[in-house]
Amino acid sequence: MKAWLPGAERLRRLLPEPVARLAVDAVLRLGRTKTGTLASVALLVAAVAGFIKTAEEMLKGHTQALDRAILLALREHADLSDPVGPPWVEEMARDFTALGGVAVLTLITLSAAGFLALRRQPRAMWFVLLSVAGGQLLSTLLKHGFNRPRPELVPHETVVYSASFPSGHSAMAAITYLTLGLLLARFQPDRQVKVYLLALAVFVTIAVGVSRVYLGVHWPTDVLAGWTLGAAWAIGCRIVALRFQKTGEIESTPAETTQDRETP
């Protein structure tokens, strides 16, 4: 468990934004506690380590060749303004990328909050709202901290207006869909339904990230960083939620059992 902490310490020193450093400190404190199961903590550690490694390699310039190769591979060699594949693939990519946009994610999050409110679970509702909002804030601060320019290697197929690293769409898709997938899975006693909900959340998260690279608005490593950041945040929030449920600070779901409380 302690082996990953030096990497997180390096990331904390590397980030220029004080608030972003505080976020890493929170992860460090969480890693030193016994909150959650070994499996969920291991996943959290893996996601944090993945983000740290991706950020370090990007800052050193070691990812530039791979980033360029993947971006160019998704374009017609005769015309870099034309993504590979028929027009309907490009249109589908725009549809997928919209699933990671602020408007769609806000609508989905508020819908989930309304669901919890109707079930008379106000504390769980506020926890979900704060989890998603906190993830958005962290993603924005990291963008400002790293301030990586958008790729200009190929024309953009959609409008962009912020820095590149990490991918905000990828991070927020992971944060929102994984968090809500885990939440909805808690209401299902059937294990197959739980697996289906989580698999669907993972699929949508991956589709959003891939669409960002396909449309030429992100380097592949931006998306990888967004995925790992979002996964780490979602898993961390889930660990905290489980602890709060055990202490009664957050309402438990009807489908929970003693064994359920130990499994994210």
Query: Which residues are catalytically annotated?
Result: 169, 218
Closest CA to 48 of 77, 69, 23, 19: 23
Query: Are 28 and 9 spatial neighbours (Cβ–Cβ below 8 Å)?
Result: yes
**Buried/exposed code over 235-247 (b: 16+ C-beta within 10 A; e: otherwise):** bbbbbbbbbbbee
Alpha-carbon distances of 3 from 6, 9, 33, 42, 69, rounded to whole Å:
7, 11, 15, 12, 33
Q: Give Cα 231 to chain centroid, integer Å.
A: 5
Q: How far apart are CA 150 and CA 152, in angstroms?
A: 6
The number of CA neighbours under 13 Å toward the Cβ of 25 is 8
- The rounded Cα 232 to chain-centroid distance in angstroms is 7
